[in-house]
Amino acid sequence: MTVQNDVVVVGGGPVGMLLASELALAKVRVRVLEQRRTRTEQSRALTVHPRSLEILDQRGILDRFRRRGAPLPTAHFAWLDTPLDFSRLDTPHPYTLWLAQTQTEALLEERARELGVEIQRGCSVVAVEEREDEVALRVEGPEGQAEERARYVVGCDGARSAVRRSIGIGFPGTETTVTAFLGDVELDDPLRPFRQTTSRGSVLAAPLPPGDHEGVYRFVVFDPQRTHVSTSEPVTLEELQSSVARIIGRDFGMRNPRWLSRFGNATRLAERYRRGRVLLAGDAAHIHFPAGGQGLNVGLQDAMNLGWKLAAEVNGWAPPGLLDSYHDERHPVGEALGRNTEAQTKLGDFSEAGMALRDMMSELLAMEPVNRRLSELISALDVAYSTGKAAESHPWVGRRAPDRALVTDRGAARLYELLHAARFVLLDLADAADLRAAGAAWSARVDVVRATAAPGSDLAALDAVLVRPDGHVAWATDAARRATRLADLSSALESWCGPA
């Protein structure tokens, strides 16, 4: 049997499901192939960071996640004593959402199915071959082996990506030199979340998020006596109990383990996020020590960046270089992710000198500018793109568009509400008929909205702003640029949105 699709997404985890939804929003025929027959019951990730919450908000689905999760105003950097304070960040969601990955995945699958995405479980991709105008996939499924074809394939199939290996994209980096481990267990008595570090190691413990794990607690352990144990050696309940008791003096009556896992600091980054008609996202493109809970979140942000660009290519209006800009923009984010997690791993040094360094770093984190800088780094609110597109002299270009209250010709709205349809938004903030007329020529892809920002708002200083479907600024103008704004806007629209 041969199946023809616009896009096949290999991997049905959170990244694959969000990408499939983004493609389906743009009327792309997309099919998800997932080797697991059912969703996993274990949750590797437990946090959804502010930037990820913003992109869910931009699609109008955030409330589904907030109903299931719990907001936490703090996070950590390298398990230091001073927490990261997300509550001060410039975002409508200054918190991390404590939510099991099982719930995140289920909600994103629900969204994908609502949009008509076809999801096929129990299908393993054996090989991928790019041809002149399509990609062929050899797939092992419940009924045996079959070939599927698609115009494009995206590997969202994890660190051991069959798509990446099959297409020959290199995955350079470093091997595991340090390991840590976790356990999801029941306890004799309830406990409040805590993070404790001594010269004997570090322990983080918290109840798993509400949902399918009532009464289960996660312990994450960095034990210097066990950091050279191979990731292939199974974790035992006895090891977990012994390490926690040695580090902090008691084991809390751990029993009935639900999941035990060892993980390492191997750090790798795909040489390219795109090779022809094959692309990579999430763990298929980057792996790292899971410090700060960033992996899932960076993967979701990969999907948000790629979805509208790939849809533009499939639908025939993408300007030259648009799809390549996915690699250009996200590969540096993957590099930065590897650097910050490697730095955090180095801070897992519990020697006398290492503890002195940790104390010094904790003191620095107590300084508001330092805390804000690292909070923006971990939460991905610091990501800004330098794309080399035309007419990008304004300092807002490449930044996240801020979510601000507006009065539009359609009524009161927040900026993020205008992005629900995953289209470009040209926001006219100066009642400029010439800009609106120019934008109207791209009305098939651009929503032109006349709006007023509140006095004193940063948006009020602009005459107009063109916001990409992923919430980043493509173009902006203000009073100092009025002489060239019309020509600049037309250039930006053609550069980002293709021919009028």
What pLDDT, in 10s, does the model give residues 218-236? Answer: 999 999 999 999 999 999 9
Do 244 and 195 touch, CB atoms closer than 8 A? no
Is the pTM higher than 0.85? yes
Question: Is 400 domain-assigned?
Answer: no
The pLDDT assigned to 392 comes to 53
- Tell which of 264, 280, 296 closes a domain: 264
Question: Is 429 domain-assigned?
Answer: yes
Question: Is 286 domain-assigned?
Answer: yes
Question: Is 449 domain-assigned?
Answer: yes
- Higher-pLDDT residue of 409 and 430 is 430
Q: What is the CATH number of the domain that holds 221?
A: 3.30.70.2450
Same domain, 71 and 164: yes
The pLDDT assigned to 386 comes to 84
pLDDT range class, residue 40, cuts 50, 70, 90: confident
Q: What is the CATH number of the domain that holds 290?
A: 3.50.50.60
- The first and second tokens of residue 408, run together, are 């539009």
Query: For residue range 363-415, what is the model confidence (pLDDT) as tens digits?
Result: 999 999 999 999 999 999 999 998 665 545 799 999 999 999 999 988 999 99
Helix, strand, coil percentages, rounded to 5, for the chain: 35, 25, 40
Domain residue limits at 487: 405-497
- The first and second tokens of residue 164, run together, are 């990446």
Question: Is 396 domain-assigned?
Answer: no
Same domain, 29 and 111: yes
Q: For residue 320, is pLDDT > 70? A: yes
Query: For residue range 240-273, what is the model confidence (pLDDT) as tens digits?
Result: 999 999 999 999 999 999 999 999 999 999 999 9
Same domain, 35 and 149: yes
Mean of the per-residue pLDDT values of the chain? 94
Question: Is 385 domain-assigned?
Answer: no
Question: Is 412 domain-assigned?
Answer: yes
Q: How many domains does the chain have?
A: 3
Same domain, 158 and 30: yes
The pLDDT assigned to 42 comes to 85
- The first and second tokens of residue 433, run together, are 């008929």
CA-CA-CA-CA dihedral for 455, 457, 462, 466, to nearest 10? -130
Q: For residue 189, is pLDDT > 90? A: no
